[in-house]
Chain A
Amino acid sequence: KAGVTQTPRYLIKTRGQQVTLSCSPISGHRSVSWYQQTPGQGLQFLFEYFSETQRNKGNFPGRFSGRQFSNSRSEMNVSTLELGDSALYLCASSFSTENTGELFFGEGSRLTVL
């Protein structure tokens, strides 16, 4: 069974640009959640999607958005990039239909903003 796949793995952008990250969950998993990890802040929850609906949202500005498609693949978008957006962005999928469930993480997308 393939694991959670995140693309791209690494990317470099400049301030003001926008970026789209993709996450393909494990087959059969309908919940996808996104996290930002920075050295100073640790892991911070961005949002969680279940069956194409945003079920939970973290405390991030509106520049951060996401969506989920009918095949459960999810994308997150960050517009008007700032230097502080440089981070490792992780997604996780879960089989559980409840809000709790074992999480399976991708390897992450490492974004550098110059």
Chain B
Amino acid sequence: KNEVEQSPQNLTAQEGEFITINCSYSVGISALHWLQQHPGGGIVSLFMLSSGKKKHGRLIATINIQEKHSSLHITASHPRDSAVYICAVNGMDSNYQLIWGAGTKLIIKP
């Protein structure tokens, strides 16, 4: 079993829909990252959080430390949001090395 699990693996939605991507982890962490990767390779850090909730524009990230679970929400989704969204955690037992989820491929149709 992977230490960081994301769901769903693939998600296709219509423009305007509310999107939720989930990340569960099984290790102790100091921080959790949400990142976005567009076709072509470039990765952009969206959020780094260790508790509570963060919001940036139409993106919201939440984390529940007790349940070892985080969610990334996209409101009023747009085709330009189409990308792979990756969850990664700094694992305390691995010298805070980043442990990566497999990613969620999101396609937003116009």
Residues of A within 8 A of B (CB): 33, 37, 42-45, 48, 55-56, 58, 88, 90, 92, 98-108, 110
* A107 and B41 within 8 A (CB): yes
Q: Which residues of A contact B48 (CB under 8 A)?
A: 100-103
CB-based A-B contact count at 8 angstroms = 55
* A45 and B45 within 8 A (CB): no
User: Per-residue CB proximity of B23-44 to A under 8 Å, as 1/0?
Assistant: 0000000110101000011111
Chain A interface, >50% SS class? strand
B98 contacts partner chain A, Cβ-Cβ < 8 Å: yes
* A45 and B96 within 8 A (CB): no
Most buried by B among A45, A88, A100, A102: A100
CA distance A71 to B97 in the complex (A): 23
Q: Which residues of A contact B103 (CB under 8 A)?
A: 42
CA distance A102 to B86 in the complex (A): 14
Q: Which residues of B contact A108 (CB under 8 A)?
A: 41-42
Q: Which of A45, A55, A103, A107 contacts B42 (CB 8 A)?
A: A107
> How many Å from the CB of A28 to the closest CB on chain B?
16
* B102 and A102 within 8 A (CB): no
B82 contacts partner chain A, Cβ-Cβ < 8 Å: no
* A105 and B44 within 8 A (CB): yes
Q: Which residues of B contact A100 (CB under 8 A)?
A: 30-31, 48, 90, 96
Q: Which residues of A contact B30 (CB under 8 A)?
A: 99-100
B95 contacts partner chain A, Cβ-Cβ < 8 Å: yes
With known contacts A42-B102, A43-B86, A101-B48, A48–B97 Cβ distance under 8 A = yes
> How many Å from the CB of B1 to the closest CB on chain A?
15
